[in-house]
Amino acid sequence: MSNETTGAVAATVVGVKESLVLIEFDETVEVMKNEVGYICVGDARLKAEILRVRGRTADMQVFEDTRDVKVGDRVELSGEMLSATLGPGLLGQVFDGLLSPLHVLAQKYGFFLPRGVLVSALDTEKKWQFTPDVAIGDSVLPGGVIGSVPEGPFKHKIMIPFNEAEAVKISWIQGGSFSVDETVARYTTATGEEKSLTMVRRWPIRRPIPEGLLRRRHAERQFPVLPLTTATRIIDTFFPIAQGGTGCIPGPFGAGKTVLQSLVARYSSVDIVIIVACGERAGEVVETIHEYPQTKDPRTGGTLMDRTIIICNTSSMPVAAREASIYTGITLGEYFRQMGYGVLLIADSTSRWAQAMRETSGRMEEIPGEEAFPAYLDSAIKNLYERAGVIRCADGTTGTLTLIGTVSPAGGNFEEPVTQSTLGTVKTFLGLSADRAYRRFYPAIDPLLSWSRYLDQLAPWFKQELDAEWVSDVKNMMTLLERGDGIYQIMQVTGEEGITLEDFVDWQKSVLLDMVYLQQDAFDEVDACMPRERQLESFRLLKKLVTADFRFADKNQARDFFTKLTGHYKNWNYSRPDSPDYAQYQTHIEQLAAQYLPAYELL
């Protein structure tokens, strides 16, 4: 069966279960998994995706409200997989989970969007100034750059389609002002076929972009060798994340995940930030959308939104689109990585993404796994995080895609399936503690619960760029925190009288480390963002303080000393390096330490 008007293959609805629709098609029709179809309800065409094919029937998840969908309704199958539209104009935009620009929809339809509305992700009327980088007759590899257009602070590279089998020869190309749909070049494939090239690409969101390229060795996946600088001390020092690496931030509600991810997005050493709000509360997402255009970007001097893309599929939006939104975001990340840029993708939160999969799996009557999540939950999470990485692109540049997922386990239970599957995949675990959040510790990352496999992996960089003893010093500091916690547990039972003065001093040193280095003030302009150079200076000073053999007459004297020292150190953290207060508080720290260790020199 075919649609005489559109030429699309047609099927018929034979069953409806909430957002899941069962369709039936002719035996001569070829239907594939993840193919896009449209359910015709009156004048509306509801977008859907095929999840499972069984004989002449298929299960489709509908990305919109299935109200009024009934048995016998016509379904148009597109023959194309669910894909993302890639090209100039993505940066600075807010999209839904299927890459529809929300600001365009709001301008046309107001706050309440009608069903079946399809809007292009890119502005097809805007003109872009295209500058060629190759000439007629040049041979270019799949994914190779033929030219670029300026987009904000970046060059948006126009590339040969990733799915070409071999290198192609440029037969025509010209510079000038073009819309994204206009032809900017033509090329001839290895089989002699001539094709036109626009600035727009489409790529199936559930298929990694580098997959085919790696097979042909036109692109090469590399080992992460550089750390991601976040300007958050506890992450950069104790639990680093590699550029092109993976990390997760699990924690209970109210533990500060949103604030932490906002600061990581703002200050991280990446070019482009993609935020996927896959099921987050609408209020928090609205706050992000309002703040980013008004926040000055410390890297470019413009606004943070200039280099940010927000994929917005909140908890009040369709569940099926929530499941697809994270794949849409990571496809955009891979696209910019292929241009040689550093990309950070923050998924908030993968728990609600997994819950969307659980709902869909239940409607499909699949055999459930633990806590009714689908049996393939673990493999789905692993496949997602494996799309991060470092790629040496076809033009010789290196691009990175770093993926950080926030997890919201109910009641802060880290033993639940989503958290456990994530921990088995990522290499950095930043566990947030409800107790630390309650005590107003920010970030509420529990140093005794968190870990990073990148600390040893990135040791060569730390030794060369920071300090030859950096890794061992960090591990010694961790040992101090563990010893301090053990002493504190004893004090909870016996009181201060049950420990020695030496143990009390060790506990005070661990508290000093926690208060002045692991904690930061997210609302202080200086302390919220600490560059690596100052982190190194602070860490060296703190190392001398916690390894010093202070002599105290009693515990009260020790407590008084560390209380004053903590106050001076915090004020030093709040001081700009070029201000008089900076040198003043550093002098106070040195003079205070010298009172209990006359021969001790800090500098």
Contacts of 250 (CB under 8 A, 6+ apart): 406, 407, 408, 409, 414, 419, 422, 429, 430, 431, 432
Q: Annotated binding residue at 252?
A: yes
CA torsion sign for 488, 493, 494, 496 is: positive
Bond preceding residue 349 cis, omega within 30 of 0: yes
Sequential DSSP letters for 482-542: HHHHHHHHHHHHH-GGGS-HHHHHHHHHHHHHIIIII---TTSTTTT---HHHHHHHHHHH
Tokens of 353: 């993404």
Q: Annotated binding residue at 254?
A: yes
Tokens of 411: 């009641």
Q: Annotated binding residue at 402?
A: no
DSSP state of 478: H
| Distance from C-alpha of 392 to C-alpha of 504, rounded to nearest angstrom | 52
Tokens of 476: 């010694």
Cα→Cα distances 426→16, 241, 334, 481, Å: 38, 10, 18, 24
- 574, 578, 584, 588 alpha-carbon torsion, rounded to 10°: 60
Q: Annotated binding residue at 258?
A: yes
Q: Annotated binding residue at 255?
A: yes
Cα→Cα distances 22→15, 59, 110, 567, 594, Å: 5, 5, 32, 66, 78
Residue 110 and residue 117 in contact, taking contact as beta carbons nearer than 8 Å? no
| Distance from C-alpha of 396 to C-alpha of 67, rounded to nearest angstrom | 51
Compute φ and ψ for 372, nearest 5 degrees. Answer: 70, 5
| Distance from C-alpha of 21 to C-alpha of 530, rounded to nearest angstrom | 52
Contacts of 301 (CB under 8 A, 6+ apart): none
Tokens of 83: 């894909």
Compute φ and ψ for 243, nearest 5 degrees. Answer: -65, 120
Angle formed at CA 204 by CA 198 and CA 210, multiple of 5 degrees:
85
| φ/ψ bin of 286: left (φ > 0), alpha (ψ from -120 to 50), beta (otherwise) | alpha
| Distance from C-alpha of 533 to C-alpha of 466, rounded to nearest angstrom | 8
Question: Annotated binding site for ATP, which residues?
Answer: 251-258
Question: Annotated binding site, which residues?
Answer: 251-258
